[in-house]
Amino acid sequence: FELDGRDLATFASRGQQRTAILALKLAELDVVTAIDGRPPLLLLDDVFSELDPDRRSHLVRRIAALPQAFVTTTTLDDLDPDLRAIATAWEVRTGPDGAWLVNGDPVAPGTPDSVSAS
C-alpha cells in the first residue's frame, strides 16, 4: 500500500498501517452494501491492538452500526470497552471431547485434532 507514492511499510507506524488496511476494508464493506443493499458479515481478527483511542472509537461506531460482526481476540481485555458493552462474547474451548462454545452448543463433534483438521 502506498500513500503519496511512498510504501506505507517504509514510513508508517504499525498503527497507521493497520488504519490504512481497515479504511480499505470498511470502504469495501460500504461498496458491497451499496451494490447488494445488505452489509456483508464483517470479521475482524485482533483489530484493536495497535489503534489509538480515537481510531478505536471510530471503529467501534462502525461495528455497532452493522447488523452482525465477529471480532476475535485472545483476551477480552484487548477489546474496546464500548464494544464489550454492546457485544455478546463467546469463548471457544477445546478438550479431549471436542470443541465447544462456553455456555453454548458444540461447535463441532470429535477431538480437537479432528476439529482443527476439518
pLDDT classification of 100: cutoffs 50, 70, 90: low
- pLDDT of res. 115: 46
* CA 60 – CA 81 distance, rounded (Å): 9
- pTM reported for the whole predicted model: 0.67
Residue, of 75 and 16, whose pLDDT is higher: 16
Nearest to 50 by CA among 10, 19, 26, 77: 19
Looking at the chain, the whole-number percentage of residues with pLDDT higher than 90 is 18
* Domain spanning 2-87: CATH superfamily: P-loop containing nucleotide triphosphate hydrolases (3.40.50.300)
Polymer length in residues for the chain: 118
Which residues share a beta bridge with 32?
none
pLDDT digits (tens, 9 = 90+) for 49-72: 788 888 888 888 888 888 889 888
Nearest Cα residue to 91 out of 78, 82, 100, 80: 100
**8: burial class by Cβ within 10 Å (0-12, 13-18, 19+)?**
middle
Q: What is the pLDDT of residue 87?
A: 82
> What is the torsion angle, in degrees rounded to the nearest 10, for the CA atoms of residue 88, residue 107, residue 95 and residue 71?
-40
| Domain locations along the chain | 2-87, 88-118
18 in Cβ contact with 51 (< 8 Å): yes
What confidence score (pLDDT) does residue 40 get? 92
Cβ atoms of 43 and 70 within 8 Å: the answer is yes
pLDDT tens-digit readout, 24-57: 999 999 999 999 999 899 999 988 878 888 888 8
CB atoms inside a 10 Å sphere around CB 88 = 4
